A and B are shown apart, each in its own frame.
Chain A
C-alpha cells in the first residue's frame, strides 16, 4: 500500500469557467486526470469499519476500489464497482455524496472527505475510454422478467437480474432509455452519451430494451404475465406527473412545468440548430421552486439565452432542498435567488403572453409537520416581478396511468405504489421501486430500490 496523502482537502475538480459554461451545454465538471485520481485515492486511510460503504445505497466496496485506483489499476477498480453498481458513470456525477458515502467518510471529521464520487466517475470514464474486455454475458437461467420504465430504478433492477442469468426486457414509454437521466438531468451535468453507453453496457449483458412502449396502454401488466410469460414484473415508472400551483394565469403561454421545459431542452435537444422541437426563448424567466429540478431548469434557461433568471422560493436559503453544490453552481452562473417569495398570480397581456409574476413576501413561522419552519405571508407585501416566462418546479407525483389500468394494484393517496420493504406490491409477482413508490426522490435511492427488488424477484422466482 502506497503512503497515505494526508492533505485535509479534496483535490479540486477542474471545471469550465462559470461565465463561459452558462452559455453552452457542455459538461461543467471536467473530471480528474490519472495523476490526480491516484493522489486523491491515497487520501483514503482504509479505516476499519468502512462507514462509507454503509452510506452508499447500493453498497459499493469503496475502500477496495479506491485502493486499486491508488495503485493505478483502474480497470480492476471498475470491476469492483461494477459488481454492485450498474451505472457508476451516472452515480459518480449525480449522487448527493455529501449526505451518503462522503458524508460518512472518516477523513471528513477533521477535513474534507475523500472525493469518492469523483473517483467513481474517474474510474467509470476511464473504463469507457480504455476498457477493452468485452462484458461476459451471464449463463441464462431460463426465467423471464419484465421491467417497466428505464430510469435509474428499472435499469439497476434489470442489470442486477441480468447478472443473475435472467432474461430481462425493459419497456420504456419514450423513444430513448434512461428516464430522468435523459429527459430531466441536463447535458451539462450528465452528458447523454454517458447514459447511452451505460445502457449499451446493460444490453451487452443481454438486457432487451423496448422503447415506444407505454405499459398500461399498449400492454397491461396482466398481459405481460399471462400472454408473454414474464414470471415477475418490476415497476420503475417514476414520478413524472408535474404539480402546478393553482394560481390565476397558469394556463398562459410562457408558463411551463419544469418537466416540459427540461424535456424539450434535454430529450428533444431544442437548443440545437438541427432539432425540430421548439422552445420559447424568453429573456426574463422566473423558476418557482428550490429543488435540484429548479436549479436545472434555471441553468438551462440561462444557456438558452435568457438575460435574467430568478429562482423564486417561499422559504429561506437554509431550507433550499437542492444540493448545496447545485445552488453554488447556479449562483456562479448568475442565477438570482428571490427567497421568502411566493407567487400569487401570473400576469398576462391580451394575447395571454406572460408579462409579470405577482408575488408576496414571506416570513418563517413555527415549524410544520416536516420539521421545517412554515412560510407565512407578510400582509400587504405584494410586488410584481418583470418576467415573460414562468417555470413551475414544484415537484411531481407518480403517473396515474398504471393505477388506472392495473386492477388490484394498491396505491397511496397521491398515487405512490404500496410495497413492503422488499418492493413487493399488492399483486403476486409484481414489484416496484424508486419514485413510483416514494414520490420524487433521488437517482441513487431509486437505484437502491431497484437493487433490493432484483434480489426479492430472484428469491421469489427461485422459491416457486
Chain B
C-alpha cells in the first residue's frame, strides 16, 4: 500500500498527488512512468512521474479525471492509500548532450513535459517551452514551466488565456523565422503530437514524442501498448514511451486508443451515478 501524502486539484479535472514510494523516488528519471491500481477491484493504469522528492521519498503524479479508474483514484483522500504503485517503468528520455530544445506540451501532457523541461534546464540546456490548453480553466503548471524555461509560450484554443491557437502556431513561427533546435520533445494528445511531427519534419529537426497507449502490465509481457515505429512493432512500455516522432504511425495509434471507448463510457456513467447517490 502506498500513502497519498498530499492531494491537490490543479484545475477542475486535473489532480496532483504526492505518493510515498521511496525506492521509486530514488530511481525515477524524466520520461519514466509508473503503473498504479487504485484499489482491489481496480484497473492497472499508467501515469508519468511528474516529479520526485528523493529525500522525502515522494513521487508526484498528475492525472486528468477521464474515466472509471481515474475517478476511483480521485476519490482516495489525502492520507489514504493506493493499492499498487509500480515503477519506475520505461526508458528515460535521452537528454544528454542537447544544447537547445523545444518542449511542446498539450493539456495534461504538460505534467509529463515538465520534468523533461526541468531536467534539460538543470543540465544547462536552453529550453523553449510551448504549452497548450483548451481554455484558461484547464491551465496547469504555468509557474513551474516558466521557472525552467528560457522562453515560454502559453496557448489556449479559445484565446481565453495567453495566445489564441494551438501549440503549432508559435512552433511554426519560430521554425519559419529560421530558429533551429537540437531536438523538439512533444508530449500531449496523439493528434497534437502528430501535427508537431509534421511541422518539424520539413526542417529535419529530430523530434521525440512520448506515446501514451493503453497498457496493462507495463513490463513488456503483453504487447497491448505496441506502436508501429518505422514499420517495426515496438512496445511503448519497454522500448519507449519515447520514439522518433517522424517514424510513428500516429493514425494507427489513434485508432488503437479508441479500443475500449464504449466500455469506458459505461464505466464513467456508473461512477457518475455513484457520485449522484452520494450527493443525495
Interface residues of A, Cβ cutoff 8 Å to B: 173-175, 211-214, 217-219, 240-242, 244, 246, 250-254, 256-257, 259-260, 263-264, 268, 274-278, 280, 351-352, 396, 399-401
Contacts and interface: CB of A to CB of B under 8 A. Distances in A.
A259 B267 CA distance: 24
A277 to B, nearest CB: 5
A327 to B, nearest CB: 25
B220 A217 contact: no
Interface residues of B, number: 40
A175 B233 contact: no
Q: Which of B88, B249, B263 lies at the interface centre, i.e. has the most chain A CB atoms within 10 A of its CB?
A: B263
B228 A259 contact: no
B69 interface: yes
A177 to B, nearest CB: 13
Interface string B78-102: 0000011111110000000000000
B219 A242 contact: no
Interface stretch (B139-147, B149-157, B251-259): B251-259
A217 B223 contact: no
17 contacts: A175-B37, A175-B84, A212-B84, A218-B24, A242-B222, A244-B226, A252-B255, A253-B259, A268-B43, A275-B41, A276-B42, A277-B43, A280-B260, A351-B255, A351-B258, A352-B252, A352-B256
Nearest to B238: A401
Interface in B216-264: 216-217, 219-224, 226, 228, 233, 238, 249, 252, 255-256, 258-260, 263-264
A223 to B, nearest CB: 10
Q: Which of A174, A275, A280, A401 lies at the interface centre, i.e. has the most chain B CB atoms within 10 A of its CB?
A: A174
Contacts of B224: 256-257, 260
A275 B259 CA distance: 17
Given A175-B83, A218-B23, A251 B221 contact: no
B258 A268 contact: no
A256 B219 CA distance: 16
A217 B34 CA distance: 11
A260 B222 contact: yes
A218 B89 CA distance: 8
B223 A244 contact: yes
Given A175-B37, A253-B256, A263 B216 contact: yes
A252 B249 CA distance: 12
Given A219-B23, A251-B252, A257 B223 contact: yes
B89 to A, nearest CB: 6
Contacts of A212: 84-86
Given A242-B221, A275-B41, A351-B258, 14 more contacts: A173-B86, A173-B219, A175-B37, A175-B44, A218-B23, A218-B88, A250-B233, A251-B226, A259-B222, A268-B43, A276-B72, A277-B44, A278-B263, A352-B255
A388 B252 CA distance: 17
Q: Which of A175, A212, A241 lies at the interface centre, i.e. has the most chain B CB atoms within 10 A of its CB?
A: A212
Contacts of B201: none
Contacts of B221: 240-242, 259, 263, 396, 399
Q: Which of A254, A259, A351 lies at the interface centre, i.e. has the most chain B CB atoms within 10 A of its CB?
A: A259
B252 A400 contact: no
A173 B23 CA distance: 14
A23 to B, nearest CB: 21
Given A175-B37, A217-B88, A260-B223, A400 B238 contact: yes
Nearest to A174: B217
A263 B255 CA distance: 22
A17 B37 CA distance: 36
Contacts of A244: 223, 226, 233
Contacts of B220: 240-241, 399-401
Contacts of B264: 278
Contacts of B217: 173-174, 263
B87 A218 contact: yes
Interface string B29-51: 00000000100011110000000
A282 to B, nearest CB: 11
Contacts of A219: 23
Contacts of A264: 216
Nearest to B2: A212
Given A253-B256, A276-B267, A277-B44, A260 B249 contact: no
Contacts of A275: 41, 43
A276 B87 contact: no
Nearest to B232: A246
Contacts of A352: 252, 255-256
B174 to A, nearest CB: 33
Contacts of A401: 219-220, 238
Interface in B38-66: 41-44
Given A251-B226, A352-B255, A276 B219 contact: no
A259 to B, nearest CB: 5
Contacts of B68: 276
A268 B217 CA distance: 10
B258 to A, nearest CB: 7
A242 B237 CA distance: 13
Q: Which of A278, A280, A351, A352 lies at the interface centre, i.e. has the most chain B CB atoms within 10 A of its CB?
A: A278
